[in-house]
Structure 1
Amino acid sequence: MGASRYRPPLFSVAPMMEWTDNHYRTLARLISKHAWLYTEMLAAETIVYQKGNLDKFLAYSPEQHPIVLQIGGSKLENLAKATELASAYNYDEINFNCGCPSQRVAGHGCFGVRLMLDPKFVGEAMSVIAANTNVPVSVKCRIGVDDHDSYNELCDFIYKVSNLSPTRHFIIHSRKALLNGISPADNRRIPPLKYEFYYALLRDFPDLTFTINGGINSVVEVNAALRGGAHGVMVGRAAYHYPWQTLGHVDTAIYGAPSSGITRREILQQYQEYGDSVLGRDGNNRPNVRDVAKPLLNLFHSEPGNGLWKRKADSAFMHCTTMKSFFEETLVAIPDSVLDAPIAGGVPSGREDLFANVHDLMPPPCNVREEEALYA
C-alpha cells in the first residue's frame, strides 16, 4: 500500500466534497507530516472534459505527499482516460468511489454507492484504472446498500472485485447507505455502525488490506481500532472540524514520531505565504481570501478568543484582498498563549472502549461460492 518512502496509512483523512481541497490539504500537511491525505472526489468526466485545464483540478504542492486521488464514474472509457491523464501528477494511490450516497452521485448513471450492486463492473473498472497507472489502486465503499446489507453480500462484493482486478486495498465505511431520498448527512447518522463487519473482513480476507471508516473522531479511537487489528483508520469530519486537536496528535500518538513543536503562529505564517501565492490564480478573483481562509476557521476550536476570531474573519472577508491583511485584522482576537502553544499539547480525548466487544459481535465466516461470485 502506498509509496515505500512514506509511513504506512495508519491514519488517513477522508475525501470530503468541497472540504478536502488544496487549501485544506495544505493546512493539514503543515499540522501532520505523516497523515495520508485524500482529494475530494473528482468525476472521471471532469478530468476528461477539462483536459486543457487539468492543473486547476489535479495540481498540488509536493509537500502534500502522501496523497491519494479519489475518482468517481461509471463509464470504463472515461475512467481509463482520466486515470491516464492523472498519472502525470504523481499521486501515491488512485481510489475509486463506491460509497457516496448523494443523490447527485448515486442517483445518476449508477455512480457512487450504487456501484456496490454491480461488483462485476467495479472489478472491470478497477482493472481499467490499474492498467492506466503505476501506483496502487483502492476502493472506498459502504458495508451495504438498502436491503442488500447482509455480511455475505459484502463478502461477495469484496471477493468479486479483488478477484477480477488487482485491487488489494478497501476502505470500508462501516454503515450501509440508504438510497431512499435521505440526505448524505442523514446517511452518516441514521444507518447504524457495524464495526463487526469490518473486523470480520480482516478474518475472512487475510490477503487483503482494509481501512476502517465511520464514526471515529479522535486519535484515541484510531489507536483503539488499530489495537483491535485494523490495518488503517480513516477519519473524516473530526479532522476537518478539529484539525489541531485531531491532526495535531497524529504524528506523535499514532506514528510515534517526536513532536515537531510547531505552533499555530508558525503554521499560519507558512499558510500566509501559500495563500497569498494562490489568490486569484484561477481568474475571476478565485480563489479569494474567503476561499483560502475557509479551513482555518476551525483552527482555534474551543480556545479563548475563538468566537471573536470568527466574527472578525466574517468582517475581514468583506474587504481584505491578501492573507497578510486578513491575519493582521483577525489574529488580534487570539491570545499569544494560544498562538504560541506547541503542537500536541495535552492528552487527546476519545472513547478508549469504542471497539471493546467488536470481536464478539462478528458474523459467522462468509460463504462465497467461487464460481457464482465471479460469474454471476
Structure 2
Amino acid sequence: MMDHSNAHRFSVAPMMAVTDRYFRYLFRQLSRRSKLYTEMYVDKTLLHQQDNLHNFLSHRAAEGPLAVQLGGNDPDTLAEAAEMCEQWAFSEINLNCGCPSSKVSDRCFGARLMLDPERVREITYGMIRKVTRTPVTVKCRIGVDDKDSYDELTTFVRAVKAAGIDHVVVHARKCLLKGLSTSANRTIPPLRYDVVHRLAQEFPELEIVLNGGIDSLGAVNEHITGTGEWGEYGGGVAGVMVGRAAYFDPWTFRHTDSAVFGSSDPGFTRREIMERCVDRFTEMMQEGRREGPECNRTRHLCLGTVTKPLGYLSSGARGSRTFRQELSRAVQAQSKIDPDTDDFRDAVDRAMALLPEGVLDEPVGDTPECAFGSQVRDD
C-alpha cells in the first residue's frame, strides 16, 4: 500500500466544477503521490442527499491520497457530515475557511468563518471528536476584509490549534468579501508568501501548507526548501498546494512524484493518458447510472463533464487550441451521451487526430533540475 504520510508536500486545491472524479482520475495518471481534494461539499447538502451520496463521495482506493472538503458553519451538522465522510475512507477531512464566493459568504461560511475564530474552534473540535481515523484540517486565507493583521491571523491559527488541528493550508492572499468577485479574489489581493513562511517558522509544531499562485515545480521547490526570497522568514513550509495551474496545464506536473517525493513518475504519454481516461470515464458513467437511486437514474449523461478534464492536457503544445475546439464542438453538437455507446470515445478520437503525434507521444523525459525528491525519499 502506498505511504501517504507526507502527501501534504504537494496537493491540488479543491476547486468547484473542477476537481470532480474525472479530473482527479486524469491527474492521478500524472502523479500517484500528490494529495487530491474533492470539490467543496456543503454539510447540509450531504445530510439531505444520503440516498445519493455516491454522486458526491464515491471513489476508489487507488484515487488516494484523497481529501474531502466540507463547507458550513454549524458545529453539529459539520460534525455529522464529517462522521459520514469518514465512512467513505477519505485520507483527510478539510474545513473550508477560505472561499470568497458571495453565495458562500452570505450563508456565513467559507472565508467569513475567519471573522469568528471561536466558532471555528468549536466546529473543528466537534469534527475531531466525531471522527477517529481521519485527520481534520483547515484551509483559510491570510485575512479577511480589514481583519488582515498578522496578529489576527495567529489568533485564528491558535484557535484551531486549541481544537486539535495540526495541519493548516493557507492561501497567501487576503479575501475581500465586499467589492471583489470570486475570480478577482484569486488574483487582485497581493500574494504575501512572507506571511505564510513566517507562520510556518513561528508554529513549527503545525504543518503549514502554502497555497496561491504556484504554477511550477520550481516554485514548489523554493517554498518547501525555503530557498526563495521571503524576507527574514527564510525557512520552508511543510507543503505546497497548487490550484488552477494544475487544471489549465496539468502536463507541467508530470514529474511531481520524482521531483517532490523521490519516487518514480507514472510515465504515461498524453496519448496513453487520454486512452486510459476514455476507458475509465466510460466505466464511471456506467457505474454512476447503476448505483444511483431509481429517481436519479438516467441513460444520458453530460458530454461536457467528461471531456472537460482532457481539454488542457496539451496546453502550450502545437495543436492544443484546435484540440479543445473540437472537443467543444462535440459538446455543442451532442451535449448528452449514452455511456453504452461509443459517442464519448469517438468524440475524443476525433479531437486527438488533430494533435501531432509528437505531442501525443512526447516522452515524459527526465526529472527536471528543480527536483528535490531525493532528499525526502520514503518508498
TM-score, scaled relative to structure 2: 0.87
Within 1, Cα distance between the matches of 2:130 and 2:223? 33
Within 2, Cα distance between the matches of 1:66 and 1:162? 23
Deviation at 1:132, TM superposition (A): 1.8
Check if 1:230 corresponds to 2:229. Answer: no
Within 2, Cα distance between the matches of 1:216 and 1:135? 27
Check if 1:256 corresponds to 2:255. Answer: no
On the 8 A contact 1:279/1:286 being kept in 2, the answer is: no
Q: Which amino acid aligns with 1:328?
A: D
- Aligned match of 2:180: 182
> Aligned runs of 1:137-152 on 2, under 5 Å?
137-152=136-151
Q: Which amino acid aligns with 1:153?
A: E
Instruction: Return 300-309 or 251-260, whichever deviates more.
Output: 251-260
- 1:174/1:5 Cα in 2 relative to 1: closer, same or farther (>3 Å)? closer
On the 8 A contact 1:217/1:238 being kept in 2, the answer is: yes
2:275 match: secondary structure = helix
Check if 1:312 corresponds to 2:326. Answer: yes
Within 2, Cα distance between the matches of 1:270 and 1:4? 24
Q: Which amino acid aligns with 2:285?
A: L
On the 8 A contact 1:249/1:348 being kept in 2, the answer is: no
Within 2, Cα distance between the matches of 1:32 and 1:124? 36
On the 8 A contact 2:30/2:266 being kept in 1, the answer is: no
Within 1, Cα distance between the matches of 2:263 and 2:43? 37
Match of 2:345 among 324, 329, 334: 324
Deviation at 1:250, TM superposition (A): 0.8
> Aligned runs of 1:189-268 on 2, under 5 Å?
189-228=187-226, 229-245=236-252, 247-268=253-274
Q: Which amino acid aligns with 1:219?
A: L
Q: Which amino acid aligns with 1:278?
A: M
Within 2, Cα distance between the matches of 1:5 and 1:189? 31
On the 8 A contact 1:6/1:34 being kept in 2, the answer is: no
Within 2, Cα distance between the matches of 1:298 and 1:205? 38
2:353 match: secondary structure = helix
- Aligned match of 1:356: none
Deviation at 1:60, TM superposition (A): 1.2
Instruction: Return 197-206 or 255-264, whichever deviates more.
Output: 255-264
Deviation at 1:260, TM superposition (A): 3.4
On the 8 A contact 1:305/1:333 being kept in 2, the answer is: yes
- Aligned match of 1:302: 316
Check if 1:136 corresponds to 2:174. Answer: no
Within 1, Cα distance between the matches of 2:259 and 2:74? 42
Q: Which amino acid aligns with 1:263?
A: T
Q: Which amino acid aligns with 1:331?
A: M
Check if 1:65 corresponds to 2:64. Answer: yes
> Aligned runs of 1:97-176 on 2, under 5 Å?
97-108=96-107, 110-133=108-131, 134-163=133-162, 165-176=163-174
Within 2, Cα distance between the matches of 1:327 and 1:12? 28
Seq. identity, %: 38
Within 2, Cα distance between the matches of 1:114 and 1:346? 41
Within 2, Cα distance between the matches of 1:100 and 1:147? 17
On the 8 A contact 1:21/1:40 being kept in 2, the answer is: yes
- Aligned match of 1:363: none
2:53 match: secondary structure = helix
Q: Which amino acid aligns with 1:79?
A: L
Check if 1:336 corresponds to 2:357. Answer: yes
Q: Which amino acid aligns with 1:251?
A: D
Within 1, Cα distance between the matches of 2:184 and 2:67? 26
Q: Which amino acid aligns with 1:237?
A: R
Within 2, Cα distance between the matches of 1:268 and 1:6? 30
1:170 match: secondary structure = strand
- 1:5/1:156 Cα in 2 relative to 1: closer, same or farther (>3 Å)? closer
On the 8 A contact 2:7/2:65 being kept in 1, the answer is: no
Per-residue Cα deviation, 1:72-93 (whole angstroms, up to 9, x for no partner): 1011221111111111110001
On the 8 A contact 2:166/2:206 being kept in 1, the answer is: yes
Aligned residues: 345
Deviation at 1:8, TM superposition (A): 3.0
- Aligned match of 1:53: 52
Deviation at 1:6, TM superposition (A): 4.8
1:298 match: secondary structure = coil
Deviation at 1:99, TM superposition (A): 0.4
Gaps of 5+ in 2: 227-235, 290-296, 371-379
- 1:87/1:7 Cα in 2 relative to 1: closer, same or farther (>3 Å)? same
On the 8 A contact 1:316/1:329 being kept in 2, the answer is: no
On the 8 A contact 2:29/2:266 being kept in 1, the answer is: no
Deviation at 1:307, TM superposition (A): 2.0
- The structure 1 segments of at least 4 consecutive aligned residues displaced by more than 6 Å after TM superposition are none
Within 2, Cα distance between the matches of 1:215 and 1:90? 30
Within 2, Cα distance between the matches of 1:259 and 1:40? 25
Query: RMSD across aligned C-alpha pairs, in angstroms?
Result: 1.9
Deviation at 1:257, TM superposition (A): 2.0
Deviation at 1:344, TM superposition (A): 4.8
Per-residue Cα deviation, 1:57-110 (whole angstroms, up to 9, x for no partner): 1111222100100001011221111111111110001000000010010122x2
On the 8 A contact 2:142/2:170 being kept in 1, the answer is: yes
> Aligned runs of 1:1-12 on 2, under 5 Å?
4-12=3-11
- Aligned match of 1:368: none
